[in-house]
Amino acid sequence: MKLTSKLLTSLALFTLLPTAAHAASGVYVVSAGDTLSKIAREHQTTVTQLMQVNQLKSDQLSIGQTLSLPAGSLSTGGQAAIPADIVAAPNDSAQQEPAQPELTAGEKARVTVDVLNVRKKASTDARILGKLKFGDLVEVVETGSEWTKIEFEEEEAYVFSAYLSPVLTPDVAFAGTVDSASLRRLESILEPLLHTPYRLGGTTPDGFDCSGFTTYVFSRLGVTLPRTSEEQFRGGVSIPLEQAQPGDLLFYDALGKGRVSHVAIYLGNGTIVHANGDDVRYGKVEYMHKLYPFYGVKRYAEFQ
């Protein structure tokens, strides 16, 4: 009975650990439902790197198991390693954020860092109400040079102004000569689809897989795509990555099988939107290139 009691107590403690705290000091504590692929995806590393660093012989995990995270992963070298609402020291140029265009009260803004704390008051000592992810949209209530008041879960809250940018517009976020009307149309299609759950074989707003998502978005633009990512990669016009424009498709081998198995929509400035295995969300090209082999860019629509 004593052993059983200790075991239950230990399991309860691990259950109570918040996910955000798993990665303290480059260490992750396995909880129920975790897999190596899920942990790798969340911390912008790979299953192979996790297995090598932890000398794992299989992908089997147990609740409470402690894993070391590879150097350079999101928790040890990425932006989420420090609270995202703490401004770096002036001489820490590697952590300084670039100047952002001005925000406007009454309009929406987009989160530009991986994780952004939402505070009850305009202070880093204030209670954290929640966290926003890269690409999330917020309603700006009042602007400020340091803090911006936003609407968060039907109440007013504050985030650091430096980590917000106006909603993507051609003159703010997109490189190249791109038709603004087409971009606004694309943005209006994408916004209500964010956080749609991932569903293998899904092609509707009830659930998408990666190519089901791109097929649906492009159908709304009047463009018919082949159904699977492999088929989509075989069509379209090949474009060098450095010439990619919003609306182009980026292709990867996310399954490690030596062929295309994932597709994302490029949005300019190193940003993508895709059904990533959990839900529809914004992401960064630099992370995708770190995680998966890159196969190329294809263009099916001209936004200029």
* Total number of residues shown for the chain: 304
Q: Which residue is catalytic, options 22, 43, 195, 274?
A: 274
Is residue 274 annotated as a catalytic residue, yes or no?
yes
Which candidate in 22, 43, 195, 262 is catalytic?
A: 262
- Residue 22 is among the residues annotated as catalytic for this protein: no
Task: Report the catalytic residues.
Answer: 210, 262, 274
